[in-house]
């Protein structure tokens, strides 16, 4: 099971009724924060999910509306009692950005581990059983798209396990994908596991033009959270100029990637009534929805 909280859905600047775009992902006691704009600790507090279990931040890029909230967030995380290291992922320039932002948060009760990602190729990292995939996006400075993925092993075959005389105390470890050397024998999961089942995939990107690579990156997402800085089709030239996307372009990515559901986010401050333009997305991809501050969703594995 995965839980998603869209903390905010605004771009450029926080508004009285709209926090800046960021997302919390929660699975099995671990949380990952994507982007951390100005004031991010406030919607995190409002979500009720707490700070202490946040184990990593993934930065898409280093415009202020995506990173300027880092010092306040780190101080709030420290005040929560966290002492374990925090990982921060981001495109090239990560060390310089974090060094500058943490001048005003110099004493923290935990270490920060920086993981600088390539801006030119896809990369894969892991946090426990959460797979963090990243790939370049097309913006005015280095920018990354992310998806967070949970794989799901095949069903455990008890009949096979018994036929192979595999000790019962090893069954759980084999089911979790572990290879085990036991009493002179090597037991591999594929001895007793069926075909891998469908996992869960959440894809997130903002501040980019649509690309074929992003369609492939989003393929079969259970939830795609994608920017729609403008809803009006007439704003397309401005979106192209600033390297952003409008609602219909986000919906086209959702459709072409066979995603299950689309949440639009990262609205321009000038887009005060995004609901007026939602049909521009729905006419292309029916299961399109407007992102809203503190919008949540629980994703569960399909029955099989």
**Mean pLDDT on 62-70:** 97
What pLDDT score does 76 carry? 94
Contact 161, 151 (CB under 8 A): no
pLDDT over 80 at 194, yes or no: no
pLDDT over 80 at 177, yes or no: no
> Is residue 86 classed as helix, strand or coil in its secondary structure?
strand
Eight-class DSSP state of 29: T
pLDDT, averaged across the chain: 93
Q: Are residues 168 and 45 in the same domain?
A: no
DSSP E strand boundaries for the chain: 2-8, 22-27, 30-34, 54-58, 86-90, 112-116, 123-127, 130-136, 144-152, 180-182, 185-187, 197-205, 223-227, 262-265, 288-290, 295-299
Contact 175, 153 (CB under 8 A): yes
What pLDDT score does 181 carry? 87
**Using one digit for the tens of pLDDT, what is the confidence trace for 1-38?**
999 999 999 999 999 999 999 999 999 999 999 999 99
Q: Are residues 92 and 228 in the same domain?
A: yes
228, part of any domain: yes
What pLDDT score does 28 carry? 92
Domain interval for residue 142: 2-151+196-299
CA distances from 91 to 21, 74, 230, 300 (A): 18, 19, 25, 30
Q: Are residues 184 and 126 in the same domain?
A: no
Q: In total, how many domains does the chain have? A: 2
Q: Are residues 167 and 75 in the same domain?
A: no
- H or E segment to which residue 46 belongs: helix 41-47
109, part of any domain: yes
Q: Are residues 112 and 22 in the same domain?
A: yes
What pLDDT score does 162 carry? 86
Of 35, 65, 207, 222, catalytic: 65
What pLDDT score does 158 carry? 85
pLDDT over 80 at 107, yes or no: yes
Burial degree of 248 (CB within 10 A; 0-12, 13-18, 19+): buried
Q: Are residues 145 and 160 in the same domain?
A: no
Eight-class DSSP state of 51: S
Active-site residue, 111 included: no
10, part of any domain: yes
What pLDDT score does 255 carry? 98
Domain-terminating residue out of 137, 162, 194: 194
**Using one digit for the tens of pLDDT, what is the confidence trace for 198-254?**
899 999 999 999 999 999 999 999 999 999 999 999 999 999 999 999 999 999 999
At 220, phi and psi to the nearest 5?
Answer: 60, 30
Helix, strand, coil tally for the chain in percent (to 5)? 30, 30, 40
DSSP E strand boundaries for 206-246: 223-227
Q: Are residues 113 and 243 in the same domain?
A: yes
Q: How confident is the model at residue 304 (pLDDT cuts 50, 70, 90)?
A: low
Q: How confident is the model at residue 178 (pLDDT cuts 50, 70, 90)?
A: confident
Q: Are residues 87 and 222 in the same domain?
A: yes
- Take residue 10 and report the two structure tokens written for it: 């605004």
Query: CA-based angle 54:55:58, to the nearest 5?
Result: 95
Which CATH number does the domain housing residue 30 bear?
3.60.15.10
- H or E segment to which residue 160 belongs: helix 158-163
Q: Are residues 128 and 204 in the same domain?
A: yes
Question: Which is it for the CA torsion 119, 122, 125, 131, positive or negative?
Answer: positive
Domain-terminating residue out of 194, 222, 250: 194
Q: Which segments of 48-87 does DSSP mark as H helices, in order?
A: 64-67, 70-79
304, part of any domain: no
Q: How confident is the model at residue 150 (pLDDT cuts 50, 70, 90)?
A: very high
236, part of any domain: yes
What pLDDT score does 157 carry? 78
What pLDDT score does 219 carry? 98
Q: pLDDT: is 122 or 253 the higher one? A: 253
Q: How confident is the model at residue 263 (pLDDT cuts 50, 70, 90)?
A: very high
Q: Are residues 48 and 143 in the same domain?
A: yes
**Mean pLDDT on 139-153:** 93
Domain-terminating residue out of 143, 170, 194: 194
The pLDDT > 70 percentage for the chain reads 100
Interaxial angle between packed helices 94-101 and 70-79, expressed in degrees from 0 to 180 and rounded to the nearest 10: 70
Q: Are residues 168 and 213 in the same domain?
A: no
171, part of any domain: yes
22, part of any domain: yes
Q: Are residues 52 and 139 in the same domain?
A: yes
271, part of any domain: yes
């Amino acid at each position: 099971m995965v839980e998603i909280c869209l903390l905010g859905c605004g771009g450029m600047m926080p508004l009285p009724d709209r926090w800046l775009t960021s997302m919390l992902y929660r699975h099995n006691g671990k949380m990952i924060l994507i982007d951390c704009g100005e004031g991010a600790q406030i919607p995190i507090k409002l979500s009720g999910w707490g700070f202490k279990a946040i184990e990593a931040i993934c930065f898409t890029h280093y415009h202020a509306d995506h990173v300027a909230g880092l010092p306040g967030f780190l101080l709030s995380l420290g005040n929560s009692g966290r002492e374990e290291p925090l990982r921060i992922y981001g495109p090239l320039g990560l060390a310089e950005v974090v060094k500058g932002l943490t001048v005003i948060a110099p004493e923290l009760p935990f270490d920060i581990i920086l993981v600088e990602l390539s801006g030119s190729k896809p990369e894969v990292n892991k946090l426990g059983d959460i797979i963090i995939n990243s790939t370049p996006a097309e913006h005015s400075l280095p920018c990354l798209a992310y998806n967070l993925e949970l794989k799901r092993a095949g069903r455990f075959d008890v009949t096979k396990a018994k036929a192979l005389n595999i000790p019962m105390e090893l069954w759980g470890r084999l089911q979790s994908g572990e290879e085990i050397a036991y009493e002179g024998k090597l037991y591999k999961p594929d001895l007793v596991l069926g075909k891998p089942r469908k996992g869960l995939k959440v894809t997130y990107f903002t501040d980019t033009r649509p690309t074929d690579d992003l369609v492939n990156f989003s393929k079969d997402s259970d939830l795609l959270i994608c920017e729609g800085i403008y809803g009006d089709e007439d704003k397309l030239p401005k979106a192209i100029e600033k390297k952003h996307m409008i609602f219909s372009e986000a919906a086209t990515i959702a459709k072409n990637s066979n995603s299950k559901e689309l949440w639009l986010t990262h609205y321009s401050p000038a887009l005060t009534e995004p609901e007026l333009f939602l049909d521009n997305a729905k006419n292309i991809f029916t299961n399109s929805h407007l992102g809203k501050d503190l919008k949540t969703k629980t994703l569960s594995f399909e029955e099989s």
